[in-house]
Structure 1
């Protein structure tokens, strides 16, 4: 059962829905195009745009009938209209910068051209990966979430990566509570807008906190919103997967951990979808629970991917 939407976000959700409707209307009136380069064919231009070539081949032909030679050849330097493809990788994988208030595809043309739909296991899912700030941690965030996004998107999931470039140079722990709440407020606003667009889908938020940056001997601790049964379930599944594939520190705890700090609670209470936090710490320092990644039997990306798939499959089984 879904948790009730907090009263504090009802008003903002109504405003967001109105603005979202306007934005969607304007977007529908704008046609995406691509200029054919040497060696390009219909399949290659569709792939570079993250569009499934087989599903949209005929539509592309109809849209560009006047500029196609011999039934399928493109003219170098000519601009071609792309089909409206809501399921394209360019539109199902989006990076949101709340600092600059811009959205852009996660992957570039070269990367998109290499992506192929594997199956539709996660077709009705939406994942939001949030960066909490810090230059070094941004490197880990990008490496981790870009690979995760690829793995999830080819299974039909929609993925959003959220960051704030204006505070990218700041370390999350150095931000004041006021600054952190403002950052999380912007993130929650952006996420709630997307939630409305994808209402009815399975949606989860994963906040990645990392004040130390990439290190060989690091520990990850998973926490959840104590008021969210779905968040607790998601955290529990992720912990079970990590427990089977990593070493649990001697001083660590085996139960799931509800977060208690003001900033995290503020973020969670202003979000509609459930949230879990992955907190990375230095493995050489005294530990208060968590999983040592130095001895992982499988890369962290693979473990998180397994946990995400398992959580969604359990939900489907229960329903």
Structure 2
């Protein structure tokens, strides 16, 4: 087992480190600007944040969060564009090399902001900038449902098959990246070295997922679940004495007409697991009240000890059901990459809430 950077345990090759330079000029005061000084564009039908930024020649992977920050009042659910609304476009930074060359002559204070690269997230998403140290010292085990020979729940969208494991995995990767940005230690238990974080609506189904670090996933269902339990429990022993939590992500399968919200389960005897589930649930409830005030959030957190991973794993944990893969409304929740990003971000905010209020 090798360490993925300084705060991510992962079976990887040698990590590369990059540093972004933030500077203050002695002769100048900090520059502030309002939306009025930024270029603007009107959203058209079908536009998403990623596509809108691309059309403006802005890298959406670098400026996604900044776009949300400066346009939050005109976004539905904090992530969706509204047709006909005007949005400010973030200012693109100058080339780093030329910027550093010109600034080093004038700058009296240089602050290095560390970033790390993780190939598991894919070429476009592999760079993780450190946002804070709010989760420093915390260890998280992330398990996405099914994988390998088992695609999980299946459905058809636009004439193509879609599967639970691909969407649960994409959300899990996004969650891992959010937790890393706040200095957590993260283990991704079910892994696919080829997929990375994907921006497509229809995620192609494959069978090449493995279990940490590189174990083949058994065909037998009970053996698959036991393998995950053993991996998590072994890592839990190795990290004894640290704050540790397990987050399992699934997509449910119910009748097509049943639209469900995001649910959170925990072990009936785990106070810490209940608090983790409640913290994430509280975050989701607050987000719905803020961004969908006319819609009641009906998701719950409750004990579900009958679930194998809930019953058998040692870390305090929450088991998350994202939605019903067969329901058209729930499909939009997982098919839209912006939605998957929002789910990951909201979960991460609940995780931070849990850690800081422990």
1:156 to 168, 174, 183: 183
CA distance in 1, matches of 2:320, 2:220: 20
TM-score (normalizing by structure 2)? 0.47
Deviation at 1:239, TM superposition (A): 1.1
Structure number having the greater helix percentage: 1
Structure number having the greater strand percentage: 2
Deviation at 1:111, TM superposition (A): 4.1
3-state SS in 2 of match to 1:208 = strand
- 1:183-229 per-residue CA deviation (whole Å, 9 max, x = no partner) reads 2211111112222332222111111121449x9x6522111110211
Name 2:250's counterpart in structure 1. 209
Cα pair 2:251 2:324 within 8 Å, conserved: no
CA distance in 2, matches of 1:89, 1:245: 30
Name 1:230's counterpart in structure 2. 272
Name 1:138's counterpart in structure 2. 165
CA distance in 2, matches of 1:269, 1:168: 29
Structure 2 unaligned regions, length at least 5: 3-11, 21-113, 152-161, 193-204, 208-218, 328-332
Cα pair 2:115 2:129 within 8 Å, conserved: no
1:259 to 275, 295, 304: 304
Name 2:159's counterpart in structure 1. none
Deviation at 1:281, TM superposition (A): 3.3
Deviation at 1:251, TM superposition (A): 10
Deviation at 1:132, TM superposition (A): 2.1
Structure 1 unaligned regions, length at least 5: 1-22, 25-31, 35-48, 55-86, 94-104, 170-177, 286-291
CA distance in 2, matches of 1:139, 1:153: 21
Name 2:17's counterpart in structure 1. 51
Name 1:185's counterpart in structure 2. 226
TM-score (normalizing by structure 1)? 0.52
1:239 to 269, 281, 286: 281
CA shift in 2, pair 1:218/1:140, >3 Å: farther
Deviation at 1:309, TM superposition (A): 0.6
Deviation at 1:147, TM superposition (A): 1.7
CA shift in 2, pair 1:137/1:89, >3 Å: farther
Deviation at 1:138, TM superposition (A): 2.3
Name 1:6's counterpart in structure 2. none
